[in-house]
Each structure stands twice: as structure tokens, then as C-alpha cells.
Amino acid sequence: MDFFADTAVIDDIRELNGYGLLDGVTTNPSLIAKSGGDFLDTIREIAQIVPGPISAEVAATDYAGMMAEAQVLSAIAENVVIKVPLTLDGLKACRALRAAGTQVNVTLCFSINQALLAAKAGATYVSPFIGRLDDINLDGMELIHAIRALYDGQGFDTQILAASIRNPNHVSDAALAGADVATMPPDVIRALVKHPLTDKGLAAFIADWKQTGQKIIK
């Protein structure tokens, strides 16, 4: 499963990419507004740091507007993926962009029918929002399982990009459910490595090593 960072904070992206943990990045106008950066400049900088797919979301909600904005965003870098909402206009834009060879991430997916429409429109990625479904007492992970079964059964190539991930359990559950990608905040990526027994074991190793009085580099 690929790991995408769901952020527009450049320092976080540089750090995680430096660990070799990032396969891509997802952004949206809200994330970039929180970061305080210029939208286009931020996308350009992210695309220069991470060579993988960089999802940049359109702000328009009508087909013509989406297509016009997609043209501007696509020109920033070859690895920019256009993110469109799962609406009729968004699906129409997805079909047109895919026909032109542009990768598309169809976002805000909350049902199996929506996932089916995204795949039929040729989406490169579909983004089901796990956490937001959990927030209203629905099982977000159940949707990942259902989409996986649908796509495998129907032979769709659209990748499942698990989004709205809130914690490490969401990551492992999404991987086991068959998600192709998980996009998550930087703090969740950092938390994946944490385990109390790892910390305890490392502390014991360090203590034992100090007692030997030896050095590896002399």
C-alpha cells in the first residue's frame, strides 16, 4: 500500500520524504489555506520535493470551471494529479481529463454507488473518506472492503485511496481491506512506527551497550 501525506506543510513533507516514507501527497484548498502559502506556489514546491503523485484539487464546482483550473494545475508539473469532487460535473470533468491523459483523483466518496461512478468515469484514484463516515456512526472500513470487492469483480483499474484517516488503526485496517493507497496527516505517519515494546527494548539495548564501555567508531 502506498503512503501519501495529506498536508500542505512543506517542512513536514520534506521530513517524511527524507525518511523514504512518502509515495505521494494529497492537498486541497483548505489545507493550503491553513499552511498560509500561495496555492499554486505550494503545489509547485511540493511537486519538486516528492516525485510521486501530487493531488491538487480544483476550486470550481462547474464542469467548465474545473476544466479551466485543471489546465492551470496540470501545467505546474508532470506529477500533478487533478482532484475533482464526486459530483456529476466532477465525473464529467474526470472523463474528459482522463481522455486527455491526465490522472484524476475523484474525492469525497461516501458510498459504493459513488465509487462505481468514479470507476466508470475512468478515475485514476477514488477517495473514500473513512473518518467522516465513522463520525456519523457508519463503518468507513466496510466501504473500503465493498469497493475492493466491486473493483476486483468488475475489473476496474481505479485505485482505492483511503482518505480521512485519523489514527494508525485506520491505516492497518485499510491495508487489510485492500486499499491501494492511504493518505494521512504527517502525525499519523510518524505514529505508525511507535510501540511501547520497541521503546522498552531499545532502552535496554542502549543500557547494555553502555555497560560494555565499547565503541563501534573509534
* Active site residue ranges: 83
SS3 track for 39-68: HHHHHHHHHHHCCCCEEEECCCCCHHHHHH
φ, ψ at 169 (rounded to 5°): -60, -35
- Distance CA(52)–CA(4), nearest Å, equals 9
User: For residues 92 and 157, what is the distance between their CA atoms, to the nearest angstrom?
Assistant: 18
What DSSP designation does 162 have? E
Helix (H) or strand (E) holding 184, with range, is strand 181-184
Query: Is the distance from CB of 146 to CB of 112 less than 8 angstroms?
Result: yes
Q: What does the block give as the cell for 199?
A: 521503546
